[in-house]
């Protein structure tokens, strides 16, 4: 397998351009990043999109359907949404969408804050082929069905590392 050579800045620019061209987009759009990778991507996108509002941040750990079996991570942090979600169009951002379970958990948490008008899903990487729930990103910068692991490190400097999954060696 040939490892992709992805330029993170180009991917972020591409994702921001796609969102900017969407009919729902305005500088007043609300954005929520999923801790931690989605938070880093949301910060970079908010800067590129010149959003007027601070981003919200969710840690959906308590909303995961595997919480009872996997336990609580020592790195769980509180969520923070600095504005009312009621009747808002929210751009939900994650670094990688794979099974759909993290996004489902995040949406459950968002609805605890109120009822948004709509939730738009944006991600840097769409890891296709492993969906367990019918959740698809509305916007993504790169899609692959290859057995790759994407490690985002940040927030500053923001970097992306790609690894071959061990079970495919």
pLDDT of res. 53: 95
d(CA 62, CA 72): 8
Query: pLDDT band for position 169 (50/70/90)?
Result: very low
Q: Which two tokens stand for residue 133?
A: 């729930």
| CA atoms of 27 and 51, how far apart (whole Å) | 5
Contacts of 63 (CB under 8 A, 6+ apart): 105, 106, 108, 109
Task: Check pLDDT > 90 for residue 166.
Answer: no
> Token digits for 68?
């009872």
Bigger pLDDT: 110 vs 78 = 110
Q: Is the pLDDT of residue 28 over 50?
A: yes
Tell me how far apart the alpha carbons of residues 95 and 84 are, in angstroms, rounded to a whole number. Answer: 24
- Average pLDDT for residues 4-13, to the nearest whole number? 90
Please tell me the distance from the alpha carbon of residue 45 to that of residue 25, in angstroms, as a whole number: 13
Q: Is the pLDDT of residue 70 over 70?
A: no
Domains of the chain plus CATH, in order, are 8-21+29-168 (3.40.50.2020)
């Amino acid at each position: 397998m040939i490892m992709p050579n992805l330029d993170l800045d180009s991917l972020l620019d591409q994702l921001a351009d796609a969102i900017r061209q969407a009919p729902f987009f305005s500088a007043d759009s609300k954005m929520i990043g999923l801790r931690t990778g989605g938070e880093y991507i949301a910060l970079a996108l908010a800067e590129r999109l010149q959003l007027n509002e601070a981003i919200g941040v969710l840690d959906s750990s308590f909303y995961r359907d595997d919480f009872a079996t996997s336990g609580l991570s020592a790195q769980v942090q509180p969520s923070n949404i600095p504005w009312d979600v009621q009747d808002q169009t929210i751009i939900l951002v994650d670094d990688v969408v794979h099974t759909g379970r993290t996004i489902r958990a995040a949406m459950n948490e968002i609805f605890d804050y109120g009822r948004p008008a709509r939730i738009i899903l944006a991600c840097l990487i769409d890891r296709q082929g492993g969906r367990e729930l019918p959740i698809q990103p509305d916007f993504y910068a790169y899609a692959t069905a290859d057995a790759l692991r994407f490690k985002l490190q940040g927030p500053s400097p923001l970097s992306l590392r790609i690894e071959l999954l061990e079970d495919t060696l």
